[in-house]
Amino acid sequence: MRSANLRTITGLAADLAVLIKAAGHPLPPALAGAEPADDVTARLEAAGALDFRPLAPAEVVGWLVALGQWPVGMPATTDLDQHELAEADLDRVRNAAEQARRDQERQRRPISVGGREFEVYSGDYTPLTRELQRVLDKGAMPGITTTPLRFTDPRTQTHAGHTPTTGRSRGGGYGGSADGGLTAAQREAIGYVGEWYAYHWLCAHYPDSMDETGWVSGNRRKAFPGPSGDDSLGFDFRIGSGQRPYMFEVKATQGDGGRFELGDSEVRAAQQHTGNDRWRLLLVTHVLTPELVEIQMLPNPYGKRGRGRYREEGGALRFSYQL
């Protein structure tokens, strides 16, 4: 009896949710979750409704009413006429539900690093970080250890756009046309991977002054316990204390670079240091292909060294460059 009732509920639960939505009622908790059949089954099983005889769809609805899992004032039936609904009403809700399901699946798309896929939608980067460390320990990231500590000056732009003085857009830890079409979770993950690479690059180049405390952005909490970091500083890493630290803002892309965005706090920090070379950009390219990763240190777009070497695009704080 129980297996027959499970089959009935499995085929019915999603349809009941569609029916209730089409009738304009909010979903009760038993039908509002991601797996309504499981929720309904658990509640009916706890009430002892599944063990004695097979339940018809109308009886399942009756049990939902008895358990307080049916909308108040809505007829306890699957009969469309009694709900004053047409099949078109159900189709409309079904189509919306299917679109929502597809959107959710898209948002849950993983990222692939070195041919292995990692789920990043949940925000748990532990398996991803473990894999990055494994590849680094194997010596398969030559760009992390061999890139020299010196500026890479972009070519002078012969028709550079006007350099803005105030921020209007939020920057991101990624850049380049190869990053189009990514979900928000994938973009965040790429930003994290870029900062993870940058952390190890900085540790290699500043062995006496760089450690995990120098990673000051919000991405720090994905790799280390302790303070969660601060994304309002305008840079991701700080090396040295006192009045003259070096500050590094990281921009990462799964492609070969050529474009990045700055956010309000990043612009403010960069403009505060136009008279020196202490605010710097680290461009991390090919972040999802460890053997191809490259890190280049670019100058402050607002500083003397970087002025005229970037082109502003799109009216926002998006810059392009050529190496």
Predicted confidence (pLDDT) at residue 1 exceeds the cutoff of 70:
no
- Look up the pTM and report it: 0.71
Predicted confidence (pLDDT) at residue 171 exceeds the cutoff of 60:
no
- What is the layout of strands, in order, in the sheet containing 246-252? 237-239, 246-252, 279-285, 294-298
Q: For residue 191, what are its two tokens?
A: 């930003």
Asked whether the beta carbons of 216 and 202 are under 8 A apart, the reply is no
Q: What is the pLDDT of residues 72-88, one digit of tens each?
A: 999 999 888 888 888 88
Mean pLDDT of the chain: 87
**To which residue do tokens 């090396």 refer?**
239
Q: What is the pLDDT of residues 234-271, one digit of tens each?
A: 999 999 877 789 999 999 999 988 999 999 999 999 99
H helices then E strands: how many in the chain?
A: 9, 9
Q: For residue 59, what are its two tokens?
A: 């009886």
Residue at 184: amino acid letter: A
Asked whether the beta carbons of 190 and 254 are under 8 A apart, the reply is yes
Asked whether the beta carbons of 125 and 194 are under 8 A apart, the reply is no
3-class DSSP state of 182: coil
H/E stretch holding 7 reads: helix 2-22
What is the distance between the terminal CA atoms of the chain, rounded to a whole angstrom?
71
